[in-house]
């Protein structure tokens, strides 16, 4: 038997290679296969593969191809400490066995960043690094306990199981991965994945999934759960849920990695007593937001290459029915919606407010008080905003049972095409019922650097004159047409 105790200072990759060559040949053969080997090593700092650890402390035993790790302690690895024990058979030719490890860090972000730089092809590491950059608290005060085991199934396949639990960024979590297959056919190996996490502030879970997350403290506690089975090459049948206070989002379908990136297809669902706090936390502001928005939606979703296709969308927003088919992608940095929707009701006023500013249509009450003739209160005193704050763009064909223009007028059974962009609102092919007649036309409302521009053509045929002019004492049917530009 051989007993070796070594203590040293700086150690780099060349020194590690030279030391390893004492025990393992360049062909992977154990030079001490016929002897028992015990060795203890302390060194630091240790530099290898672009990583630097302040200290490394090990106690290992090797007997007849059985490697027993009594102690493996790595300190100061990008601010993290790692400890492990284990028992590995058939080392180093075909290692199988069990390994227990723990990772502790005040913040795991530096270690994740270094690992992402060292393994640039890893989408997981890149994703974790970008999430930590966007939400710095995500991996703070971290402790992760891992158990990994590998076993030879006797048929040329290896069974692998990894489980972990811990906490990071206030989230308590657990995860597992199990599968079996040949080392050279990992993409074809059947696997099963689970992950669940709970955090007293749902904002951290949104950040974990890569969504914009502002620390507004509006969401309260939430938990998330993922279960997946399948193969990495052929796709994973996946169930996902994120649940919080009177809120639940879910997905049931298939997720796959493609040359164009992540692809997913399945059923999407969203139920919220009030969706507004979740939208605000994600940095999304919608026209008319502030009075609450109950939401219940479901759809068949198909995502790939940056495009989300929602088929058979149905549900209700503020108890008003919504249905149709919509495609969502990102254009010029904002979401773009295209497709066709049927709505119970739609008010164009919030869109105009988003186009010109929150105060653009508030009457000048102070001026009205000074001028009892009403001259001061007719028009708003606040200038229009220099640019639109519309949070999305759209190119939609819409039908709605009620179409309102604020408090000015409401048309019914309306059908039209709506186009929204950062310049303005365009309505074309409008057909609706108004004042007992048939309304047709088109109009455009634009914000030109703080100047409001309106143009349109309208025709009202077969209108009830008693309804159009209720105080004139006139009855009958009339046709009206107008063209406006201002």
Residue 375 confidence class, pLDDT cut points 50, 70, 90 = very low
- Please give the Cα distance from 394 to 181 (Å, whole number): 47
Of 243 and 382, more confident:
243
**Cβ contacts of 80 within 8 Å, gap of 6 or more:** 103, 104, 105, 108, 110, 111, 142
Q: Of 56-70, 322-336, 378-392, 460-474, which range is least confident?
A: 378-392
- What's the angle, vertex CA 132, arms to CA 129 and CA 133, rounded to 5? 85
Interior/surface letters 462-472, b for 16+ CB within 10 angstroms, e for the rest: ebebeebeeee
Distance, first Cα to last Cα, the chain: 97
What pTM did the predictor assign? Answer: 0.84
Least reliable range by pLDDT among 38-42, 153-157, 164-168, 457-461: 153-157
Q: How confident is the model at residue 372 (pLDDT cuts 50, 70, 90)?
A: very low
Give CA 352 to chain center in angstroms: 29
* pLDDT number for residue 17: 57
Give the tens place of pLDDT for each residue, 152-178. 887 778 899 999 999 999 999 999 999
**Higher pLDDT pick, 365 / 246:** 246
The DSSP output letter for 30 is: B
Listed in sequence order, the residues at least 6 apart from 394 whose beta carbon sits closer than 8 Å to its beta carbon are: 336, 337, 338, 418, 419, 420
Q: Return the residue matching tokens 């045929």.
A: 461
What confidence score (pLDDT) does residue 19 get? 61
Where do the DSSP E strands lie in 153-260? 158-168, 171-181, 191-199, 222-231, 235-244, 247-258
Of 271, 269, 322, nearest to 294 (Cα)?
271
Region 349-357 average pLDDT: 83
pLDDT score at 363: 56
d(CA 399, CA 415): 4
Q: How confident is the model at residue 423 (pLDDT cuts 50, 70, 90)?
A: confident
């Amino acid at each position: 038997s051989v007993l070796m105790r070594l203590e040293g200072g700086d150690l780099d990759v060349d020194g590690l290679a030279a030391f390893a060559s004492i025990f393992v040949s360049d062909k992977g053969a154990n030079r001490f296969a016929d002897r028992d080997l015990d060795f203890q090593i302390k060194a630091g700092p240790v530099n290898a593969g672009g990583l630097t650890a302040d200290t490394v402390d090990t106690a290992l035993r090797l007997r007849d191809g059985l490697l027993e790790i009594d102690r493996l302690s790595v300190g100061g690895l990008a601010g993290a400490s790692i400890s492990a024990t284990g028992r590995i058979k058939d080392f180093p030719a075909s290692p199988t066995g069990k390994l227990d490890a723990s990772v502790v860090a005040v913040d795991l972000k530096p270690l994740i960043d270094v690992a992402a730089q060292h393994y640039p092809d890893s989408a997981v590491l890149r994703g974790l690094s970008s999430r930590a950059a966007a939400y710095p608290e995500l991996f703070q005060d971290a402790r992760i306990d891992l158990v990994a085991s590998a076993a030879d199934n006797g048929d040329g396949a290896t069974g692998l199981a990894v489980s972990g639990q811990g906490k990071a960024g206030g989230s308590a979590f657990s995860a597992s991965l199990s599968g079996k297959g040949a080392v050279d056919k990992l993409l074809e190996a059947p696997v099963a994945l689970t992950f669940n996490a709970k955090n007293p502030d749902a904002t951290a879970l949104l950040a974990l999934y890569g969504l914009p997350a502002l620390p507004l403290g509006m969401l309260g506690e939430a938990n998330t759960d993922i279960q997946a089975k399948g193969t990495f090459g052929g796709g994973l049948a996946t169930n996902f849920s994120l649940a919080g206070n009177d809120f639940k989002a879910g997905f049931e379908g298939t997720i796959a990695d493609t040359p164009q990136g992540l692809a997913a297809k399945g059923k999407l669902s969203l139920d919220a007593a009030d969706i507004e706090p979740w939208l605000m936390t994600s940095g999304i502001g919608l026209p008319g937001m502030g009075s609450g928005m109950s939401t219940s939606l479901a759809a068949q979703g198909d995502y790939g290459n940056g495009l989300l296709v929602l088929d058979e969308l149905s549900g209700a927003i503020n108890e008003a029915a919504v249905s149709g088919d919509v495609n969502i992608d990102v254009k010029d940095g904002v979401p773009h919606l295209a497709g066709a929707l049927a709505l119970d009701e739609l008010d164009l006023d919030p869109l105009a407010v988003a186009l010109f500013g929150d105060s653009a249509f508030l009457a000048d009450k102070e001026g009205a008080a000074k001028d009892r003739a009403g001259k001061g209160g007719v028009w708003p005193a606040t200038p229009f905003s220099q640019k639109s704050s519309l949070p999305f763009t759209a190119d939609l064909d819409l039908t709605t049972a009620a179409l309102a223009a604020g408090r000015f007028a409401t048309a019914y059974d309306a059908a039209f095409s709506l186009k929204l962009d950062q310049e303005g609102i365009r309505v074309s092919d409008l057909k609706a019922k108004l004042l007992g007649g048939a309304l047709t036309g088109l109009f455009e409302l634009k914000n030109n650097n703080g100047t409001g521009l309106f143009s349109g053509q309208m025709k009202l045929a077969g209108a009830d004159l008693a309804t159009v002019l209720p105080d004139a004492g006139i009855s009958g049917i009339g046709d009206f047409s107008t063209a406006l530009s201002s």
